[in-house]
Amino acid sequence: MIDRLYFISQQTATKTHLATIEEALEAGCRLVQLRVKNQPEADVLALAQAAKALCDRYNAKLIVNDFPQVAKATGAWGIHVGLQDMAVKEVRAIVGPEMIIGGTANTFEHIQQRVQEGVDYIGLGPFRFTATKEKLSPILGLEGYQQIMEQVRAARIQLPIVAIGGIVADDVPGLREAGIHGIAVSGAITAAEDQKGAVERIKTLFSS
């Protein structure tokens, strides 16, 4: 089962992807996605190998965004693909039957599509505006999640659905009530003054 808290790496003016990953692991995250855009595959492979070594040190799981060959080569736990990325069937052919595959969705129709494609979990978003993503899909807000999750329940879809996009700890109770399995965060940890405290608070909100 996928963790309730899922950290997505980002590169900031002062921190590299690996630095944000190490901070998140140190703060208590045990599921990390390496999300590198607009870089050659060889560079992503080098980053993924370093990220995998970090995750191994903390007994955490690594998901690679968008590069199935890299995910396979590094022995990552999972791969995540966006709606414009490679087809899930092709990704599965590369990574084999064991690796977790996640897929992005923005609407209930996308969720149905992802279920048919055979993904293991869905990243549904964006919740609100986020600076980490170019070409942002329509923002859902809490109401959007409530409506979509009602449709998910009516359709008896059982896949874990993770909310993503500018989410902070205060958003957890509403999202959890809507039926979301977990949240993916970036800035909520990277920008926190007390990163351990931020992680603990999110985990507590999901377990309380």
Domain boundary assignment for the chain? 5-207
Please report the pLDDT score of residue 136 as a whole number: 67
pLDDT value of residue 130: 72
Q: Is the Cβ–Cβ distance between 132 and 17 less than 8 Å?
A: no
What is the rounded CA–CA span in Å between residue 143 and residue 97? 36
Strand partners, 182: 162
Res 40: pLDDT: 96
Contact 157, 115 (CB under 8 A): yes
Residue 64 in 3-state DSSP? strand
The stretches in the chain having pLDDT less than 50 are none
| Burial class (CB within 10 angstroms; exposed 0-12, middle 13-18, buried 19+) of 165 | buried
pTM of the model: 0.95
Confidence (pLDDT) at 133? 62
Helix boundaries (H) for 96-190:
108-117, 141-154, 172-178, 187-190
CATH architecture of 5-207: Alpha-Beta Barrel (3.20)
